[in-house]
Amino acid sequence: MSSSRLPAIVERLAHDIRIGVLPPGTALPTHRKLAAQYGIAIASATKVYAKLQGLGLVVGEVGRGTFVRDRPPQREWDGDDEARLSSSAVDLSFNHPWWPEQAELLRATLRELATSGDLSALMHQQPPGGRLHEREIVARYLQEQRGVVADAGQIFLVGGAQQGLDVAIRSTLRPNDAVAVDALTYPGFKMAAAVAGVTLTPVASAADGPDFDALASQCRRGAVRAIYAMPTMHNPLGWVLNPAQRRRLVEIARRHECAIIEDATYAYLVDDAVPSIFSLAPERTWYVGSLSKSVATGLRFGYVVAPKDKAADVKRVVRASFWSQSSVVTAMATRWLVSGEVVRQEARQREDARRRQAVARRVLRGMDLVAHPASMFLWLPLPEGLRMDRVASALAARGIAVSKAQAYATTRHAPHALRLGLSSMPFSQVEGVLTQVRDVIERLPI
């Protein structure tokens, strides 16, 4: 068979994958069997699978074969949050940590679980917030790596930071309460607040953090019950508050009797970070974090650290909503915390983020980008007169999903800007994809 028919074979297999004839996890024929099936050379069969892998439809595992992959770029669950693309070859709208050994780590850990201890215990319902010894593991990790000192009884294991934020909101606020947030903030918090009936009060931003005079004014004028903050690697602007800024935030919260919800999802990206807000004001701070961005988004393992006198409130919310985190997920995550695997992955992610940001700064030189040098994302204001909808649509036509500023805005009008996640693609693709982003922005007429 002529190699000119290879595109037809690729298209046929791609079609079957996309419509579900070949569902995720399906083992595809070996290269030899595929070659025999279509009457092509084995080398040509290798090219077919390489093309499908380049399209993000299959994954090859040495010694095991080629499998139809799950496709996280399918964003049917997106509504008004970040992306506007149903299927994409490159997803810059979401950060999925990418490293080659993920599958092998999972495989090895599942083997260990299957052959050790009382496996049947993982089939039992766990106490609300997790078993004590696993919460103690998280407590040690937080103390050693984040400087967050808390008793295990203050720590509650949850299904990722998003669930952690929901728990913090529901245990702190009531419908119609007001929470002060940055003018640009994490879309997941916006959604959780909307579901809980909480009102968002936008606070203007300065160059390197919130405008604290504006925050103080907001607290004086209205009944602001809580402040939502991302002091260590703000999403999407990448700022890291300095010690003086953190003290000012705490001083405002104490003066006006406000709770603080500290989102530490991306805090692991910052080397030698200044003390957390929780360490400065443990009596009023809910500290929320997870392993989703440093290890794997599908792990869904997170934690909430509550003030000591509010632990009972958090426990009631946990018990009433989801009761406890998955026993199997918790067993895997705590094993990785004890073995040091999480700390090693965080170090790798920090180095990888620096490399990706260096490429971004080179490719987008001269453009008005905003980012921390160790961030996994960047904020890209668009040239005056160029609307974000047009740019996002033009990039979607090239198979590139991006986040628009309106997903992050808490004000009536959103700036025309894009937020680009950098970690969901192999490093080798970063320069080419960002070059396409620049090309689209520069070619669109204003």
| Within a domain: 82 | no
What are 427's strand-pairing partners? none
- Going by their DSSP bridges, the two strands 224-229 and 403-404 should be labelled as unpaired
Determine the distance from the C-alpha atom of residue 302 to the mean position of all C-alpha atoms in its chain, rounded to a whole number.
12
> What pLDDT is stored for residue 286 in this prediction?
98
Tokens of 198: 């909480």
Are both 292 and 252 inside the same structural domain? yes
Are both 236 and 284 inside the same structural domain? yes
Are both 139 and 278 inside the same structural domain? yes
| Within a domain: 257 | yes
> Tokens 């690729």 correspond to what residue?
10
Tokens of 170: 């529901």
Residues 6+ positions from 406 with CB-CB distance below 8 Å: 388, 414
| Within a domain: 45 | yes
Q: Which residues of 145-184 are buried (b: 16+ CB within 10 A; e: fewer)?
A: ebebebebbbbbbbbbbbbbbbbbbbbbbeeebbbbbbbb
Are both 314 and 357 inside the same structural domain? no
| Within a domain: 270 | yes
Q: If residue 203 lies in a helix (H) or strand (E), which one and from where to where? A: strand 199-203
Which residue among 291, 309, 339 closes a domain?
339
> What pLDDT is stored for residue 71 in this prediction?
58
- From start to end of 30-168, where are the E strands? 58-61, 65-68, 90-91, 155-158
Tell me the whole-structure pTM to 2 decimals.
Answer: 0.84
Which residue among 339, 362, 382 closes a domain?
339
| Within a domain: 432 | yes
* Single-letter residue type at 318: V
Given a contact cutoff of 8 angstroms between Cβ atoms, the answer to whether 277 and 254 are in contact is no
Burial of 82 (0-12, 13-18, 19+ CB in 10 A): buried
Residues 6+ positions from 36 with CB-CB distance below 8 Å: none
pLDDT under 50: residue ranges of the chain: 1, 72-88
Are both 208 and 304 inside the same structural domain? yes
User: What is the domain extent for residue 333?
Assistant: 125-339
**Other Cβ atoms within 10 Å of 439 Cβ, number:** 13
| Within a domain: 120 | no
Residue 351, domain CATH: 3.90.1150.10
Are both 256 and 239 inside the same structural domain? yes
Are both 325 and 347 inside the same structural domain? no
Residue 261, domain CATH: 3.40.640.10
Backbone torsions φ then ψ of 326, nearest 5 degrees: -55, 130
Are both 199 and 279 inside the same structural domain? yes
**Other Cβ atoms within 10 Å of 397 Cβ, number:** 10
| Within a domain: 100 | no
How many H helices and E strands in the chain? 15, 16
What are 157's strand-pairing partners? 303
| Within a domain: 217 | yes
Which residue among 319, 339, 359 closes a domain?
339
Are both 180 and 209 inside the same structural domain? yes
> What pLDDT is stored for residue 3 in this prediction?
59
Are both 306 and 384 inside the same structural domain? no
> Tokens 């009023």 correspond to what residue?
284
**DSSP-assigned letter for residue 374:** T
Burial of 229 (0-12, 13-18, 19+ CB in 10 A): buried
Tokens of 138: 């998280």
Are both 290 and 217 inside the same structural domain? yes
What are 302's strand-pairing partners? 158, 290
Are both 362 and 264 inside the same structural domain? no
CA–CA separation, 420 and 302 (whole Å):
24
Given a contact cutoff of 8 angstroms between Cβ atoms, the answer to whether 344 and 351 are in contact is no
- The count of structural domains within the chain is 3
